[in-house]
Structure 1
Amino acid sequence: MKILSWNVNGIKAILRKGALQPVINDYDVIMLQEIRTNEIPLDIALSGSNLFPFPSKKKGYSGVLTISKIKPLSVIKGLGINEFDEEGRVLTIELDDYFIINAYFPRAGDDLNRLDYKIKFDLEIEKFMLELRKRKPVILCGDLNVARDKIDSTFWDEKEPGLTSEERGWINKILSTDFVDTYRFINGNKIEYSWRSYLEKWKAMRIDYCIVSSEIKDRIKDSKIIKIEGSDHYPVYLEIL
């Protein structure tokens, strides 16, 4: 199973740049975040894959899209919580062996005005993942908007969104018990970043992940950041045996 996850920072924009079309048929499942539209562009609609959009109610904002060559057993849109679901943040497909969750986590905000919202989302998606895991293993991919540790960021200020102790505390808690950061599992302490600031070129962080429930960690064949230009994020890749 070859999986690609990518915050495209606007699906229409990345298609205009010609960055998505070359890879659209190279993976079994592609998960896009921050699609910013409720329309499926023709380039994707004609791909022949199964398409599962979950846009935000607010135009030009957020939203996720999962593209799967495999027809899912079921599709779950959202977490069942309006304040998150109206922003189009989570879409889950169920395959034979596992659930695959496409997630765009909220950003805590430049002045941390959405930190409480972000932490509430973290806790709710954790509950959701654990409930699904009772049925079969879980794969979560997406923009989690948090850097785990100092090696995952070119700068360090715990008042910055994505670097707060609250955000890092949550992700490191689940990764110490129930789930595996596949990039670190394969690459050890290699330093790479999945996001770069357009405005402040020295700022970069690894905030995009593929995480799997621990019972399938031995099935992880590869996990990496792919240097495809077109967004302020690079896509992340996961291959499961």
Structure 2
Amino acid sequence: MNLYSWNVNGIRAVINKGEFARFMAAHNPDILCLQETKAQRQQVELDLPGYHEHFYSAAKKGYSGTAVFSKTAPLQWRDGLPAELVEQFQLAADSYGSPNDEGRVITAEFAGFWLVTCYTPNSKGDLSRLALRAKAWDPCMLAYLQGLEAG
């Protein structure tokens, strides 16, 4: 299985420059995970026959976002982190609000495995989100992944 993960830093620019088509032709991924798509699905001119696609966009247009393209249909898609974990780890405590408004995590269940693509919050140049990362985001993601692993 060929699985790729790519921080595109804006999917529309990557498509318009031909980089996306070249990547797909060169690598023919079974699964492709994208981070920092910075677009709503309806803003993306993309047709990939043979792929099941799922976009999870930020509420704020032009910000963050993730997407998954898979040749095999997943059993289910999940967007974001479970509300109980967001609450438990106080992820909505910073000025950005709920991380589930930022389109950062897509989980897909396949026969025999879970796939999680994640666009982790940046700590920012002024380190304003460092506490969020260290004390909330990272422990929350670990708990989420351990929960998936435990079944």
Q: TM-score, normalised by structure 2?
A: 0.83
Alignment of 1:1-241 (within 5 A): 1-24=1-24, 26-40=28-42, 41-43=44-46, 45-80=47-82, 81=86, 83-119=98-134, 120-135=136-151
- One-letter amino acid of the counterpart of residue 70, structure 1: T
Give 1:104 shift: 0.3
SS of 2:4's equivalent? strand
Runs of 4+ in structure 1 displaced over 4 angstroms?
none
Give 1:42 shift: 2.7
Residues 187-213 of structure 1 deviation map (CA, whole Å, 9 limit, x = unaligned):
xxxxxxxxxxxxxxxxxxxxxxxxxxx
Give 1:79 shift: 0.3
- Distance, in Å, in 2 between the alignment partners of 1:47 and 1:116 is 42
| Gap change, CA 1:3 and 1:46, over 3 Å in 2 | closer
* Runs of 5+ consecutive residues of structure 2 not aligned to the other structure: 87-91, 93-97
SS of 1:5's equivalent? strand
Is the contact made by 1:24 and 1:47 (CA closer than 8 Å) also made in structure 2?
no
- Distance, in Å, in 2 between the alignment partners of 1:23 and 1:93 is 22
What is the alpha-carbon root mean square deviation over aligned residues? 1.4
Residues 4-46 of structure 1 deviation map (CA, whole Å, 9 limit, x = unaligned):
1000000001111111112336011000000001125232x34
* Runs of 5+ consecutive residues of structure 1 not aligned to the other structure: 136-241
Aligned length: 134
Give 1:47 shift: 3.2
Give 1:61 shift: 0.3
**Identity of paired residues, percent?**
32
SS of 1:61's equivalent? coil
Q: TM-score, normalised by structure 1?
A: 0.53
Give 1:116 shift: 1.3
Which has the higher mean CA deviation after the structures are superposed, 114-123 or 100-109?
A: 114-123
Is the contact made by 1:90 and 1:104 (CA closer than 8 Å) also made in structure 2?
yes
- One-letter amino acid of the counterpart of residue 29, structure 2: Y
- Distance, in Å, in 1 between the alignment partners of 2:144 and 2:75 is 18
- One-letter amino acid of the counterpart of residue 93, structure 1: A
Give 1:64 shift: 0.1
- Distance, in Å, in 2 between the alignment partners of 1:61 and 1:71 is 27
- One-letter amino acid of the counterpart of residue 139, structure 2: L
SS of 1:6's equivalent? strand
Is the contact made by 1:36 and 1:60 (CA closer than 8 Å) also made in structure 2?
yes
Q: Which has the higher helix share?
A: 2
